[in-house]
């Protein structure tokens, strides 16, 4: 918590314009209480930067980092496969296709409907499609991952088609931003829904941590121990689908967080979901916030999509982990 507080303060102070941490907190307190507790000794623009841009961005990075890690844990428990994550299972690429469709169609029909909505609808549909196709005869992990890969390449094909036939540069750039996720679009109005969805998801899943632990040991064992495996699976699919949908609709595709963070946490706290869930959510939140802050500090005037950075950091890390064979799962 302290770490989040400190990191959060740093995150709000750095960027293309550097601000004093003291001002930042004064502004946040003033604004959140909607009263002028501290006299205004800063420029109006500073206030706009802090309150309209950076604070929502910090919150979005915390919410989506935590949320993606939670989805990672859920999917890995469901499939008993350490490769499972919304990224690998094709949900993210389905969502980005949805976003791109709404950009291209929106331009075509002259109506502006939000890429976020497109992403949410397509992400959810893709998730159901993948789980439906893989669900036949128990969620065999290999089957699920293979279907995920197939669905993922199907949708990236569609996305590439749409991008190459896009009518103009602006559409193309808009699409690129969705394919490689970004936190730059953070606005207050979109945060509330995401916050509530995440809170409900965490609540529901925390109640089920024991059952998740048993599920990893195998479906049959779980059933003999009295776990309603079908219902549990349904819950996992629903929670992870909606959560991914909402996150992707706010940020676009941010890869590797859901895959790598749970692994790291297993190394620290073991595989018991009682400790794994909260620690992964916290680490995921801090990781994404840290990465975004670092990116903004390094590339001051230009916006670099965070998805690019997480993939560039996450993939080598994951490879080295696999090579050392130091990951363990469910043990």
Provide the binding-site residues for other proteins, judged by CB under 8 A. Answer: 15-17, 44-46, 48-49, 52-54, 107-108, 110, 112, 167-171, 173-174, 177, 182, 184-185, 187, 301-303
Token pair belonging to 289: 């916030």
Task: Work out how close the CB of 297 gets to other proteins at its nearest, in angstroms, rounded to a whole number.
Answer: 13
Nearer to other proteins, 162 or 232 (CB): 162
Closer residue to other proteins in complex, CB, 50/74: 50
> Which one, 39 or 45, has the nearer CB to other proteins?
45
DSSP state of 300: S
Distance (Å, rounded) from C-alpha 319 to C-alpha 331? 21
Dig out the tokens for 18 from the structure: 């550097």
Kindly state the smallest distance separating residue 19's Cβ from other proteins, in Å: 9
Q: Is 138 left (phi over 0), alpha (psi -120 to 50) or beta?
A: left
**Would you list the DSSP string of 135-201?**
HTTS--HHHHHHHHHHHHHHHHHHHHHHHHT-SSHHHHHHHHHHHS--STT--HHHHHHHHHHHHHH
In the complex, what is the shortest distance from the CB of residue 304 to other proteins, in angstroms, rounded to a whole number? 8
- Give 6 or 48: the residue with its C-beta nearer to other proteins: 48
* Least distance in angstroms from the C-beta of 308 to other proteins: 12
Question: What is the smallest separation between the CB atom of 52 and other proteins, expressed in angstroms?
Answer: 5
- Spatial contact of 267 and 279, defined as CB atoms under 8 Å apart: no
Minimum CB–partner distance for residue 135 and other proteins (Å): 36
> How far separated are the first and last CA of the chain, in Å rounded?
29
Contacts of 204 (CB under 8 A, 6+ apart): 235, 239
In this complex, which beta carbon is closest to other proteins, that of residue 15 or of residue 330? 15
For the stretch 1-5, contacts whose Cβ atoms lie closer than 8 Å and that sit 24 or more positions apart, written own/partner, are 3/286, 4/62, 4/282, 4/285, 4/286, 4/289
User: CB of 192: closest distance to other proteins in angstroms?
Assistant: 16
Please report the DSSP string for 46-79 in residue order.
Answer: HHHIIIIIIHHHHHHHHHHHHHHHHHHHHHHHHH
Which of 53, 315 has the CB closer to other proteins?
53
- State how far the Cα of 66 lies from the Cα of 4, in Å rounded to an integer: 12
Shortest Cβ distance from residue 36 to other proteins (Å)?
17
Q: Which is closer to other proteins, CB of 72 or CB of 174? A: 174
Based on CB atoms, which residue is closest to other proteins, 46 or 156?
46
Between residues 55 and 277, which has the closer beta carbon with respect to other proteins? 55
Compute CA distances 290 → 29, 72, 295, 297, 309, whole Å.
23, 19, 9, 10, 11
């Amino acid at each position: 918590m302290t770490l989040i507080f400190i990191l959060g303060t740093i995150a709000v102070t750095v960027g293309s314009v550097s601000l004093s941490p003291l001002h930042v907190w004064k502004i946040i307190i003033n604004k959140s209480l909607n009263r002028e507790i501290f006299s205004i000794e800063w420029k109006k623009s500073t206030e706009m930067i802090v309150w309209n841009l950076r604070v929502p961005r910090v919150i979005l990075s915390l919410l989506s980092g935590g949320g993606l890690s939670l989805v990672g844990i859920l999917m890995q428990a469901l499939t008993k496969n350490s490769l499972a994550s919304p990224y690998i299972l094709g949900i993210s690429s389905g969502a980005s296709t949805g976003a791109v469709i709404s950009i291209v169609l929106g331009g075509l029909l002259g109506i502006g409907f939000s890429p976020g909505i497109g992403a949410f609808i397509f992400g959810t549909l893709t998730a159901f499609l993948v789980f439906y196709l893989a669900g036949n005869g128990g969620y065999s992990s290999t089957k699920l991952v293979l279907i995920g890969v197939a669905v993922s390449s199907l949708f990236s094909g569609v996305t590439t088609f749409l991008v190459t036939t896009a009518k103009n540069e602006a559409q193309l750039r808009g699409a690129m931003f969705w394919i490689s996720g970004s936190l730059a679009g953070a606005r207050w109005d979109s945060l509330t829904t995401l916050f509530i969805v995440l809170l409900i998801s965490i609540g529901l899943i925390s109640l089920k941590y024991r059952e998740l632990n048993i599920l990893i040991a195998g479906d049959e064992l779980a059933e003999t121990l009295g776990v309603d495996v079908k219902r549990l699976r349904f819950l996992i699919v629903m929670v992870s689908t909606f959560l991914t949908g909402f996150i992707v609709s706010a940020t676009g595709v941010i890869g590797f967080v859901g895959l790598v963070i749970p692994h790291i946490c297993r190394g620290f706290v073991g595989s018991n979901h009682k400790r794994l869930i909260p620690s992964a959510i916290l680490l995921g939140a801090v990781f994404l916030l840290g990465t975004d802050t670092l990116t903004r500090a390094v590339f001051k005037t230009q916006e670099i999509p965070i998805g690019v950075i997480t993939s560039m950091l996450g993939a080598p890390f994951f490879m080295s982990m696999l090579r050392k064979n130091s990951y363990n799962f469910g043990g």
